[in-house]
Amino acid sequence: MRMDLDGMYAAIDNDGAFQQLSSRIAEAAGTRSAVFVELTAAGAPTSLQANYWDQDVISVYLRRFVAQDPWTALAVDIGNFGRATALDARMSPDAFRQTEIYNDLYRPYGDDTGRCMGVIPHLGREGVMMAVHRAASDEAFSAQDQARLDEIYGHIQRILPLRRAMERQRHRASTLQDLVDQADEGLVRLGRDLRVLALSSAAQRILEQRDGLSLSRNHLVARPELEGALRAAVAAVIDRRVDARTGFLCHRPSGARAYRLVVMPAGFDGDAGAILKIDDPDISAPVTAFAALQGAYGLSAMETVLVQGLLADHTPEEIAAQRGVGRETIKTQMKALFAKTGVNRQSSLIRLFATFPRMRGGAS
């Protein structure tokens, strides 16, 4: 029997692969069905996935039988915690047909499931309960089947905690993204190597100007001496060292006033990285006007940058060249602006945007 480890481990960060995980367990075990349940230390289920039963069966099971599943009770009675057990050796298909769960759940749906092999975690600990099933008329589970399920269970015990950790990280990044966007400040969350983990819309507008600070392959780029100082400051902040320099000036090739930079902790967890606050003294006041524009029409950061260029009397071609994108990208964003604002000409778009306070000053 083939064990698709690549497919299993893809479930760590791929939602589609995760939805197929119970099917991959069944395939690896050589059974038609598989189910896994994540349990709290008190034994309460927090999630359940099954490949064979439809949602109606699962709903009834969770409502009526999850706490009195005879196979689970038998596994607890046997006490072989953390190891696969062929439960049909202790409860034959004929005996299973006498149970309430068979007569009130399986039989009404025409289900001939009658054999189970499963693993339960140690009582009083968080863990994963996993079971695979065969029809009553199929062959009994063997010692070889049990060894195979033990191997599968070992992989699942690695996969699910890693997936939950990835989900927590995505949630944390999403929460930070919401916070920095609402603040309408130039905020960038950085890792030790200056990899950008998240950034606010205001910071994205600043970096796209490529005027002393920019992005390359999702990393912050500055002149070499400043980049080295920022890298050291980020490491110091993550390591909670208090003797490091964390404030800098970033001089700009355009001749505009220097950015003021401050490196700050991103959170109590070192994995959260550090926050770089970028203050542009030339546009810090008008940024609020562009934030109002974004809120009024639901514009993306890229669409707002396009508005800035149009209000500065740049042509779409010039804006495309400045941003290093194709003309088609600008055309697509123009269409989105027309759809969101209800106008259908560039001149009308500019007249509409010019009504926002200080918008002309902010674009110059």
pLDDT at 326: 81
Region of residue 345 (phi > 0: left; psi between -120 and 50: alpha; otherwise: beta): beta
pLDDT for the residue 66: 82
Give φ, ψ of 85 to 5 degrees: -135, 130
Give the pair of three-digit tokens for residue 329: 């990208």
pTM over 0.75: no
- Residues 290, 304 contacting (CB under 8 angstroms): yes
| Distance from C-alpha of 22 to C-alpha of 171, rounded to nearest angstrom | 24
Nearest residue to 280 via CA among 362, 353, 199, 219: 362
* Res 213: pLDDT: 96
Chunked mean pLDDT (size 10), the chain, 364 residues: 80 88 95 93 88 88 87 94 95 95 91 95 92 96 96 92 78 59 75 89 88 93 95 89 83 90 71 83 56 71 81 81 80 87 80 58 40
Write the pLDDT tens digit of every residue in 146-158.
Answer: 999 999 999 999 8
pLDDT of residue 212: 95
Percent of the chain with pLDDT over 90: 42
pLDDT tens per residue, range 273-292: 888 989 888 764 444 556 66
Q: Which residues of 307-341 are buried (b: 16+ CB within 10 A; e: fewer)?
A: bbbbbeebebeebbeebeeeeebbeebbebbeeeb
The pLDDT value given to residue 286: 44
Please state, as a whole number, how many other Cβ atoms lie within 10 Å of the Cβ of residue 267: 13
Domains and CATH numbers, the chain: 5-168 (3.30.450.80), 184-279 (3.30.450.20), 287-363 (1.10.10.10)
Ramachandran quadrant class, 135 (left: phi over 0; alpha: psi -120 to 50; beta: rest)? beta
Q: How far apart are alpha carbons 204 and 190 in whole angstroms?
A: 13
pLDDT of residue 219: 94
> In the prediction, which pLDDT does 122 show?
92
The pLDDT, as a whole number, for residue 359 is 47
